[in-house]
Amino acid sequence: MHVFLLASGAILLVAAATLSVVLGSVVRKQASADARADLNHVTRMVLSSNQVGNLLVDPALVSTTRHRLLLDPNIAQVEVVQDGQAPLLSAGREQIVFQQPLHSSGGKRGVLRVLSNPIDTRQSTSSRVRFIWVSVTLVFLALFAVLALLVRGASRALQRRRSALQQQSQALLDAYRRLEQSSLEAIESLNATVDAKDPSTAGHSQRVVEIALRIGRELGFEPARLEQLRLGALFHDIGKLAVPDAILLKPGLLTRQEFEVMKRHCDDGARIVDRFGPLRPVVSIIRHHHERWSGHGYPVGLEGESIPLEASIVGLADAWDAMTTNRPYKEMLSIEEAREEVEGCSGSQFRPDVVEAMLSALDKDPKIFTPLECRPSEASDRNHTRSRLRAVDSFSFGEA
């Protein structure tokens, strides 16, 4: 607004000066024209009492006419130029204010010329020019004042409008955040129902979150990336909402047909989460957390580094929790046994650098990798348990 006001003031100043100069010039030209017209009128009045044609032959009449005209201080010269004679004055700085052809009864011809001194109208017009400058200045100052008031009023109105819009935007942003939080809580509630269906998997998603975040910190993830990893781990099994309870809660091993239904939970979970904008960045984690480094995973069969790093982390955390908790179809492994399994599957099922990060984190912070509610129990036949676990791995190792 200040820039606009200064620019407007400059434009008005230039316009006022230009208008004053133009009007002053017009006044001076008009004054000069009026002066010449007055001299022309005086000349005609003087000559009207004389026989103009006789000026050619009567020197006394010429002298009388010249004397009467030269009484006006503005008249510079009165001359009668007969045909064939050169004018006495060349009318350089002087101005011809009257010129009349002459002729006499004797057949002589000539021209009567009346010349004036250079007409200087500055003194006579100075007061009028000053009046023009003052008037134009006052008018433009008034216009600038009105413009300043209008700009000030408009600025205040815009500020009030801006403040109101900011308040409305903040209110909408707060409402959106509340809606987003409510939606996220609703999705978390849906996700919690997956764990609630089966007491053996209670707290599974939260344990996967803790393990995945510890691996992510070991790999040097930044806070924003850790948050995406957390959400991906939290909702990695939300697609199991679409899996029939008869399959999801089956106490024994799944048939091939049942396992094909189970594998759909990756794509189903990705579709569920993809409908919620803030969770779209974690869709790839949910869809690909059962991919294998060797390319024999599901649902797409990605191989090696084509698997998103976060999905590999969640997949390992998911498998670790499956190995170290009791399930209806198997007994839990000890930390040492689970570690041997992870090391043995590095480069085939699990991504090698993720395995290294997890083992390093396990050495530094073993509590994160030990279930709080489920402790290792003595099994009568540990080898039988591990053989059953390997049977499950033939379909999907660590299925949680």
Q: Pull the structure tokens for residue 306.
A: 């084509």
CA distance 380 to 237: 32
* 365, two tokens: 């912070």
If you ran DSSP here, which 8-state letter would residue 329 be given? Answer: T
pLDDT tens digits for range 187-217: 777 777 777 776 666 788 889 999 999 999 9
Count CB neighbours of 149 within 10 A: 10
Please give the class, per CATH, of domain 185-396: mainly alpha
Q: Read off the tokens for 353.
A: 């650098």
Question: Counting beta carbons within 10 angstroms of the beta carbon of residue 124, is it exposed (0 to 12), middle (13 to 18) or buried (19 or more)?
Answer: middle
Domain ranges of the chain: 2-118, 185-396
| CA 100 from centroid of its chain's CA atoms | 78
Strand-pairing partners, residue 112, are: 80, 100
Q: What angle do CA 374, 379, 385 make, to 5 degrees?
A: 95
pLDDT digits (tens, 9 = 90+) for 272-318: 888 888 889 999 999 999 999 999 999 999 999 999 999 999 999 99
Inter-residue contact 188 to 234 (CB < 8 Å): yes
Sheet containing strand 109-116, strands side by side: 75-82, 109-116, 95-103
Decide if 300 contacts 311 (C-beta within 8 A).
no
* Cα within 13 Å of Cα(184), Cβ side: 13
Quick check: 374 pLDDT over 60?
no
Instruction: Let me know: does 235 contact 187? Beta carbons within 8 Å.
Output: yes
Distances from the Cα of 373 to the Cα of 195, 200, 214, 337, 346, angstroms: 15, 11, 19, 19, 28
**pTM of the entire predicted model:** 0.56
Task: Name the band, by pLDDT with cuts 50, 70 and 90, for residue 360.
Answer: very high
Q: Where are the strands (E) in 66-170, listed by range?
A: 75-82, 95-103, 109-116
What φ, ψ does residue 299 adopt, rounded to 5°?
A: -90, -15
**172 Cα distance to chain centroid:** 20
Alpha carbons within 13 angstroms on the beta-carbon side of residue 263 total 18
What is the arithmetic mean of pLDDT over 141-167? 85
Q: What token pair was written down for 331?
A: 């007994």
Strand, coil or helix: what is 220? Answer: coil
Across the range 71-91, mean pLDDT stands at 70
pLDDT at 397: 37
**What confidence tens digit (pLDDT) does each residue in 20-59 have?**
788 878 877 887 777 777 777 777 776 766 666 667 667 7
Residues facing 95 on adjacent strands:
116
Question: Measured between alpha carbons, how far is 297 from 319 in angstroms, rounded to an integer?
Answer: 13
Q: Which residue is it, tokens 């670790």?
A: 320
| C-alpha torsion 387→390→391→395, nearest 10 | 170
| Among candidate residues 52, 65, 59, the one with its CA nearest the CA of residue 104 | 52
State the CB neighbour count (10 A cutoff) for residue 240. 24
Quote the CA–CA distance of 69 and 82 in Å, as a whole number: 19
> Which residue is it, tokens 């004053």?
20
Residues 372-381 have a mean pLDDT of 45
Task: Give the mean pLDDT of the chain.
Answer: 80
Which residue's structure tokens are 């002729």?
103
Residue with tokens 């049942």: 258
